[in-house]
Amino acid sequence: MSAYAALKDNSSVNSIFHENDNNVEEDEDMMGYERNSSDENEELTETIREVNAPSHPNPLFNDTTFPSLPVTSSNFQFTSDNVISKGTNTILGLREDEFIMVRGQLAMEILHGRVVINNHHRLTEKEVSHQILAPDSQALPIIAGSTCHSGEKIPEAYRASFSKDVISIIRLTCLNTGLEKIGSYYPPFKDFFYHEKGYSTGEKVANTDGCSYQIVLKETSGLEGFCMDMTWSNGIKEIVNSLKNSDTPKTIMVIGNKNTGKSTYSKSLLNELLLTDSKQISYLDLDPGQSEFSAPLTLSLTDASSTNWGLNIPNSSISLDRTGSTSHFYGFTSPIHLPNTYLRILKELFNKYQRTKSQGKHLIINTPGWIKGYGKELLSSITDFIVPDFLFLLSSNPDIGQGENLDILNGLTYKRLLIIRSMTKESKFSAASLRDFNKLVYFHQRERSGFDFNEHFLTSSPYKLSYHTFPSDSYPGISAVSFLNSNAGYDFEIEDLPLMLESSIVGIYFIENSQYQSLDKTNISSSVPLYINFTDYFSLLVDSEHTLKFGGLCMVHSINRASSYMNLYIPEVNLNYLQSLLSSGYKMILVKGDGEIPSIEMLNPIIAKEHESEVKLLNHQKKKVEDKSTNRIHKIPYMNFESKRKVGGVWKVRRNIIRKSH
């Protein structure tokens, strides 16, 4: 998932509920924007063509004018002749050169004229409601007025309310999906989505009081709009024009270093293709660390049919796999951890696209930012296998002869190259925080567009599912477990298997009974689940469409070895699908990679707060606990609430230590 913000990190309390996250990850790929982008280099297979552009955004449509970068607020002002407020609805009339920058959650309808989104995408009047999720973690959508035809008059229903010079009329509606409560559930995300009540940095707007969104009228620290510059716009326009004249589907791959805006550019290209082509567009998401189209720790192939002007959140319902979306559990956040498995999954997903290519769908491929060292070798393998028709390279220097560009492109296979200047900026939220966000929204999704952050997971009982300790054809439940990149007897003792599974996120797979019986399963204890080694699991990924059915993710709460069952938390939207496969005789296998459960899901905050209150009260009284009946403190295993000493209070693992004296 891409992200873009410069808000000051308000997380200052070191605990599992207020994290100070300074993690640096090898796979960070935040969306960002670099000011004063100036030119674009385009290279065909044999030639290079340079396009010079001004250092400020030049609109694709000349009837709208944007200010110089950065755009930090709307230039729209509320007056009596350009706004109508009706409950949760606000109808705005935009004049020529006027635009709004919005944050939060809203639905937008175009009632008259057309609008330009993000200084590039043109939307015309249709009976369509565009749902927009605009968190402060990324650049905010910009909506500008634009005329369709000269002399077009305002519809009679609005003539009495709007001045004659209004060219576009839009309706904005509050959209409460439940995501606005994620900050109450997990305080480090309190400024993730705008929410009018109690928002720490927002400023009230009279026309949107109490609503789920805000029209940003004044500059607010850290907020900027997504105003696409000419280099990006021209690159997208070039591709769209090329595809209009093509009778066959094309493959477009976007590559670049970390933090160059690959995900943002891929999504912008996807939106434009959907606006100009009535067909679906396939999207292959190969970034397991930060994705807006895949569930956490997975790679996916998605058939997109509608545009998205904000944050895209994949649906947790795995039943959608049968209707245009295919996912595989990779288990890690970067290809560096398990490159062979990464390539195997990539090939399976691309082969799936090839089988449906005759339907005329173009394919957009978003890649991770690991393009140096072995990452470059991996990228070479990917381009050799796919051979993209168009390869976009996002680079800080669009000169084809620049040294880093030559190093990146050397050995890659492609038909046509376009080099685009990258747009980068540091984000408020780290890659690790964004991954926690993706995990939380995955497991708290209740309906197709709803999220429940009212109650903690631990206030409800987990699902109890028995596991096999001996092979059985008819026994339902968890048939076996496997570990990615680890084999029992070499990397761990099989008796430790339950400890390795507890408090982790795992992938769920189903295979047919005949295939399951052919696998070599290890059992040395009546209390430990059956085990499949990594080599046998990897063999299942070959032609996996006929052997494996992905069942989504689950959290392993705990394992009862005495009664042979696991306590699992599974998104409720997947339960019926999983139950139907089990009742049909499929065998269920849990696969573990490196899926860590977000800290907020480890311990119910109510229990933690009670404990903290008891400790504070005891410290205030400055007396020892002698009579446990009257001075009882609840003991929480593995948790320490005492403040760390300033000196020697933090233990860190030291890596790559080289003693130069030897």
81 compared with 641, residue with greater pLDDT: 81
Of the candidates 80, 205, 195, 94, the residue with the CA atom closest to the CA atom of residue 147? 94
Q: Are 555 and 505 in contact (CB under 8 A)?
A: yes
pLDDT given at position 159: 85
Q: SS3 of 643, please?
A: coil
What is the C-alpha separation between 169 and 125, in angstroms, rounded? 9
Q: Are 448 and 316 in contact (CB under 8 A)?
A: no
Burial label for 515, CB within 10 Å (0-12, 13-18, 19+), is middle
pLDDT given at position 9: 33
Percent of the chain with pLDDT over 90: 45
Residue-wise pLDDT for 229-267, tens only, equals: 889 999 999 999 999 878 899 999 999 998 888 999 999
| Reduced 3-state DSSP string for 187-220 | HHHCCCCCCCCCCCCCCCCHHHCCCCEEECCCCC
Domain at 406, CATH number: 3.40.50.300
489 compared with 624, residue with greater pLDDT: 489
Q: Residue 445 falls within a domain, yes or no?
A: yes
Phi-psi region of 97 (alpha: psi -120 to 50; beta: other; left: phi over 0): left
Q: Residue 32 falls within a domain, yes or no?
A: no
Structure tokens given for 270: 């996807």
What is the C-alpha separation between 508 and 559, in angstroms, rounded? 16
Looking at residue 70, what DSSP letter applies?
A: P
Q: Are residues 416 and 544 in the same domain?
A: no
What is the C-alpha separation between 311 and 189, in angstroms, rounded? 15
Chosen domain end from 548, 578, 594? 594
Of the candidates 10, 34, 13, the residue with the CA atom closest to the CA atom of residue 394? 34
Residue 2 has pLDDT above 80, yes or no: no
Residue 355 CB-half CA count within 13 A:
11
pTM of the model: 0.83
Structural domain including 583 reads 466-594
pLDDT given at position 17: 35
Q: Are residues 342 and 366 in the same domain?
A: yes
316 compared with 191, residue with greater pLDDT: 191
For range 499-509, the mean pLDDT: 94
pLDDT given at position 409: 93
What is the C-alpha separation between 205 and 225, in angstroms, rounded? 18
What is the C-alpha separation between 381 and 361, in angstroms, rounded? 24
Q: Are residues 135 and 273 in the same domain?
A: no
Q: Residue 10 falls within a domain, yes or no?
A: yes
Q: Residue 210: which pLDDT band, with cuts at 50, 70 and 90?
A: low
Peptide bond preceding 57 in cis form (omega within 30 of 0): no
Q: Residue 356 falls within a domain, yes or no?
A: yes
Containing 231, the helix (H) or strand (E) segment is helix 230-244
Amino acid at 566: M
Q: Are residues 386 and 266 in the same domain?
A: yes
- Among the residue ranges 26-35, 247-256, 502-511, the one predicted with the least confidence is 26-35
Amino acid at 127: E
pLDDT given at position 662: 44
Which DSSP string do the residues of 603-635 spell out, in sequence order?
Answer: S-HHHHHHHHHHHHHHHHHT-----TTTS----
Looking at residue 192, what DSSP letter applies?
A: T
Burial label for 455, CB within 10 Å (0-12, 13-18, 19+), is exposed
Residue-wise pLDDT for 528-572, tens only, equals: 999 998 888 888 877 666 678 899 999 999 999 999 999 999 988
Query: Per mean pLDDT, which of 17-31, 322-336, 554-568, 605-619 is the most reliable?
Result: 554-568
Q: Are 582 and 467 in contact (CB under 8 A)?
A: no
Note the residue count of the chain: 662
Q: Are residues 338 and 238 in the same domain?
A: yes
pLDDT given at position 544: 63
Question: What is the tally of structural domains in the chain?
Answer: 3
Residue 43 has pLDDT above 50, yes or no: no
Mean pLDDT score of the chain: 80
For range 630-646, the mean pLDDT: 62
Residue-wise pLDDT for 349-359, tens only, equals: 999 999 988 78
What is the C-alpha separation between 52 and 345, in angstroms, rounded? 40
Q: Residue 637 falls within a domain, yes or no?
A: no
Containing 374, the helix (H) or strand (E) segment is helix 374-386
Q: Are residues 286 and 387 in the same domain?
A: yes
Q: Are residues 418 and 440 in the same domain?
A: no
Burial label for 122, CB within 10 Å (0-12, 13-18, 19+), is middle
Residue 59 has pLDDT above 50, yes or no: no
Q: Are residues 344 and 423 in the same domain?
A: yes
Strands 213-215 and 99-112: antiparallel
Residue 211 has pLDDT above 70, yes or no: yes
Structure tokens given for 45: 């297979």
Q: Are residues 141 and 238 in the same domain?
A: no
Q: Are 44 and 416 in contact (CB under 8 A)?
A: yes
Chosen domain end from 594, 627, 649? 594
Percent of the chain with pLDDT over 70: 77
Burial label for 209, CB within 10 Å (0-12, 13-18, 19+), is exposed
pLDDT given at position 29: 40
What is the C-alpha separation between 419 and 489, in angstroms, rounded? 49
Strands 390-395 and 417-421: parallel
Residue-wise pLDDT for 280-307, tens only, equals: 899 999 999 888 899 999 999 999 989 9
Chosen domain end from 594, 620, 647? 594
Residue-wise pLDDT for 343-397, tens only, equals: 999 999 999 999 988 788 999 999 998 888 889 999 999 999 999 999 999 998 8
Which DSSP string do the residues of 470-528 spell out, in sequence order?
Answer: S--SS--SEEEEEETT--BTTTB-GGGHHHHHTTEEEEEEEE-HHHHHTS-EE---TTS
Cβ within 8 Å of residue 619, ≥6 positions away: none
**How large is the greatest C-alpha to C-alpha distance in the chain, in angstroms?**
87
Q: Residue 469: which pLDDT band, with cuts at 50, 70 and 90?
A: confident
Structure tokens given for 408: 């990146």
Q: Residue 634 falls within a domain, yes or no?
A: no
Q: Residue 34: which pLDDT band, with cuts at 50, 70 and 90?
A: very low
User: Residue 189 phi/psi, 5° resolution?
Assistant: -105, 20
Q: Are residues 187 and 270 in the same domain?
A: no
Containing 639, the helix (H) or strand (E) segment is none
What is the C-alpha separation between 555 and 296, in angstroms, rounded? 12
- Cβ neighbours of 50 (radius 10 Å): 13
Q: Are residues 160 and 13 in the same domain?
A: yes
Q: Residue 27: which pLDDT band, with cuts at 50, 70 and 90?
A: very low
Q: Are residues 208 and 130 in the same domain?
A: yes
Q: Are 30 and 37 in contact (CB under 8 A)?
A: no
Q: Residue 605 falls within a domain, yes or no?
A: no
- Cβ neighbours of 463 (radius 10 Å): 16
Structure tokens given for 425: 């900026």
Q: Residue 423: which pLDDT band, with cuts at 50, 70 and 90?
A: confident
